[in-house]
Amino acid sequence: MNNFFSGINSFLETILFFDIFFGSIDGVRVPFLVAWLIFGGIYLTFLTKFINLRMFKHSFDIIRGRYRTAEDVGEISPFGALTTALSATVGLGNIAGVALAVSLGGPGATFWMIVAGFLGMSLKFTEVTLSLQHRVFLQDGSVMGGAMEYLSRGLAQKGYAKFGKVLALVFALFMIGGAIGGGNIFQVSQSLGAVSQEIPFFKDFPIIFGLVVTMFAGFVIIGGVTRIAKITEFLVPIMAVIYIGASLWILAYHFEKLDDAIAIIFHEAFSTSALYGGVAGAIVQGFQRAVFSSEAGIGSSPVAHAPVKTKYAVRQGLVALYEPFIDTVVICTMTALVIVITGVYAHDGAYMSLIEAKQGAALTSAAYGTVVSWFPTILSLSITLFAFSTIIAWSYYGERAWVFLFGTRYSMVYKLGYLLLIILATITETAVLVDFSFMLFLTMALPNILGLFILGGDVKRELEEYVAKLKSGALDEEALR
C-alpha cells in the first residue's frame, strides 16, 4: 500500500513542482500550485474590491439569520452549511498541519499562513458563490453543486463546453482522491497516533479504533447531508470551544513569552536562514498547510454550501468568508503560537523523531503536555472530534463527485467503500500518507482556480447588484422578521 501511495506521489510531483524562474529559491523547490493559489487569491481580492474586509459585518448578520426570506430554496440553513464546511476544514490541518508547517518551515510559516487565510477568504467567497449560481436540484431531492457544476455549466455558458466538461471530470476524480487521502485516511492515521499515546490499548490493537470510528461515521454518512449538517451544527461549536479554550490556557500560562514568539514569527517570515529553507521555505509550508486546513481555492467546500436555503448565490458566498478566517486566521494561529512558545518545533530538540515521521498531531500533543500533564488527553478528545467531523464532511464531498461521475444509484457503493477505508487507515504508515494527502489537495486547485479566473466576472457583477440592493434597503424589506 505504501508503494502505491509513493508511486502516486512521484507522479504528482512531476506535474506540480517546478523551480520558479527556472531556479529554486533558497534551495527550496516551489510547488507551481502554491504560486497558482497565491496569484488566484490576490487577483480575486482585487476583483471583489477586498470583499474579505468590507463585507465582514454583513456576513455575520447573514449567519445569525437576519436576512432570511420567504423565497429561500434549499435543504439546509446557512449556518448548517457553514458548520458542515467548517467540520471539514477545522480538523487535523489545524493541529497536525500547523505543527508540521512550523517544524518544517520555521516559525515564519505562521505569518504566511495568516496571509494565506486572508487571501483564502476571497477565494472561498468566489467559489461558493459560483457553486450556488450553478447548483442543480436532482430528481431524488438532493442538490449537486461545487466545482464540478460551475466548471461544466459555467464554462459551457462562456462557449467552452468541452473544455469545461474535461475540467469538471478531472476535478471530480481529484475530489474523490482527496476525500480518500486527506479527508479519510490521513485523518484516521493522525488521530490514531495522538490517541494511542493516551490510550496504549489502541497502539496494540489499532484496528479496534478503526472499527469504532467506522461504526459512528457510518450512522452519520448513510443518513445523507441533512444528518451530516445536524451533527456538525452540534459538534463544531463544542470542539472549537474545547480546543480554543485549551490553547488560550497555554498562551496565558506563557504570557510573558508571547511577545517574543510573535517577534520570532515576523522575523523568521522574512529570514534568509537556511535551517528551514529561508523565506521560500516559510512561504511554501505556510501556504501548503493553510490550504490543507482551510481548503480555500481547491473547490471542496462549495459542495457543502450548495444545498443551502438562500435566495441569492452571493449571500452564501459571504457566509463562506468566515471559514478561512475562523479556521486559519484564528485557530491555526493559536496552534502555531503554542508550538513556537513551547519550542517543540526545534530540529535539535527532543521531538525530532516526531518531526521526521511527520506526526504533527503527536507534536502538538507534546506541546500541550509541556504545560499541564493532562492537557494531551483533552487534545486527544479534540483531535478525535476534529478527525470525525472531517471524515463525515469529506464523505459527502467525495460522494457528490462520485454521483457526478457515475450517477445517484451508485452512491451507496462509494459510502461503503469510504467506510472500509477508515479501517484500512489504522494499519497503514502515516508519513507517506501525509505527502499523498497534500499532493491531492493541491492538485484540486489546478482546474478549480482556472475556472475562478474565467468565471470571476460573473461573481463580481452579482456582488455589485447585491451591494446596491443592500444600500437601497431592499434586502431589509424582504427579510423575514
Of these ranges, 31-45, 111-125, 229-243, 265-279, the one predicted with the greatest mean pLDDT is: 111-125
How far from 453 is each of 116, 297, 300, 317, 466, CA to CA, in Å?
Answer: 18, 11, 17, 16, 21
- Please give the share of the chain, as a percent, with pLDDT higher than 70: 77
Domain spans, the chain:
2-478
Average pLDDT over residues 218-228: 72
Q: Where are the alpha helices (DSSP H) in 64-160?
A: 78-89, 92, 98-105, 109-133, 147-149, 155-157
CA-based torsion, 153, 158, 160, 166: positive or negative: negative
- Among 68-72, 339-343, 438-442, where is mean pLDDT lowest? 438-442
What's the pLDDT at 24?
47
What's the pLDDT at 459?
93
- Among 42-51, 335-344, 363-372, where is mean pLDDT lowest? 363-372
282-299 confidence digits (pLDDT tens): 677 767 666 666 778 888
- Among 221-235, 252-266, 337-351, where is mean pLDDT lowest? 221-235
How far from 56 is each of 117, 205, 329, CA to CA, in Å?
Answer: 14, 47, 14
Of these ranges, 199-203, 274-278, 308-312, 360-364, the one predicted with the greatest mean pLDDT is: 308-312
Per-residue pLDDT band for 349 (boundaries 50, 70, 90) equals: low
Average pLDDT over residues 343-370: 69
What's the pLDDT at 432?
62
Region at 141 (left for phi over 0; alpha for psi -120 to 50; beta for the rest)? left
Bridge partners of residue 25, in order along the sequence = 28
- Please give the share of the chain, as a percent, with pLDDT higher than 90: 13
SS3 at position 76: strand
- pLDDT at position 341 over 80: yes
How far from 364 is each of 97, 201, 246, 338, 354, CA to CA, in Å?
Answer: 10, 21, 12, 8, 10
CATH fold label, 2-478: Amino acid/polyamine transporter I (1.20.1740)
What's the pLDDT at 14?
52
Cα gap 430→352, rounded to integer Å: 16
Per-residue pLDDT band for 107 (boundaries 50, 70, 90) equals: confident
Q: Are 174 and 444 in contact (CB under 8 A)?
A: yes
What's the pLDDT at 476?
82
What's the pLDDT at 273?
57
Cα gap 59→480, rounded to integer Å: 17
